[in-house]
Copies of this chain bind each other. A is one copy, B any other.
């Protein structure tokens, strides 16, 4: 294989939702880089690929996320990560970078991608798409994201209320990310808009503890997980 960085989306968490192409390229790579750290999604990506590596001919690098969430620390992390990956590719290695879900949709890979494009434009990048947690959550909940003429919006639940209201009114299906942070505010908003019974909360799809809550009132504080989302389908 030619030296390059391959971003492999391993899907939402179920190791079987990896694509055939992703599995092949992880097996063929000289170096496999996975993020590990305090955030549970990082370690999950690591655990999915750990058993697929042949240590006799492949190198497994775990890039540790910074513990603190400050922007400066994150920027420094991704600068270092990009430099490490770029050096490996420039030395002739094929490097697979593992990320949960799809590399181009709300993934940690996008921070590395931006650093590479800005500072190492000579490094070839290939993206192998993966199943997004959005699609997997819809499948688990039995709620289609959209028929052919429908409109779908995906946005963080942390937007201001006016913005959320406009979107909920205009679109047929709305997926709210990061909903664990503002769950009660969202539930109240949906109630006021008459949409509470059109919503379903999905927690940790494809992972241990996965659950679907068609009744938002049955969601307890312990169910508010970082890896969760809400689908509102009119």
Among A29-37, A86-94, A137-145, A213-221, the stretch that binds chain B is: A137-145
- Give the bracket for the number of chain A residues in contact with chain B: 35 or more
Contact A139 B16 (CB under 8 A): no
Among A55-63, A101-109, A187-195, the stretch that binds chain B is: A101-109
Which residues of the other chain, B, contact A159 by a CB distance below 8 angstroms? 151
Bound CA span A155–B167, Å = 13
Contact with B along A1-40 (1 / 0, CB 8 A): 0000000010110111111110110000000000000000
Copies of this chain, tallied across the complex? 2
A156 at interface, CB cutoff 8 A = yes
Which residues of the other chain, B, contact A15 by a CB distance below 8 angstroms? 20
Task: Please give the distance in Å from A98's CB to the nearest CB on chain B.
Answer: 15
Contact B156 A153 (CB under 8 A): no
Which residues of the other chain, B, contact A132 by a CB distance below 8 angstroms? 132, 135
Which residues of the other chain, B, contact A18 by a CB distance below 8 angstroms? 19-20
Which residues of the other chain, B, contact A170 by a CB distance below 8 angstroms? 163, 166-167
Q: Kindly list 4 other residue pairs between chains A and B, CB separation below 8 angstroms, not including A19-B19, A151-B154.
A: A16-B20, A102-B135, A127-B139, A163-B170
- A interface residues (Cβ-Cβ under 8 A, vs B): 9, 11-12, 14-21, 23-24, 102-106, 110-111, 113, 125, 127-132, 135-136, 138-139, 142-156, 158-159, 163, 166-167, 170-171, 177-178
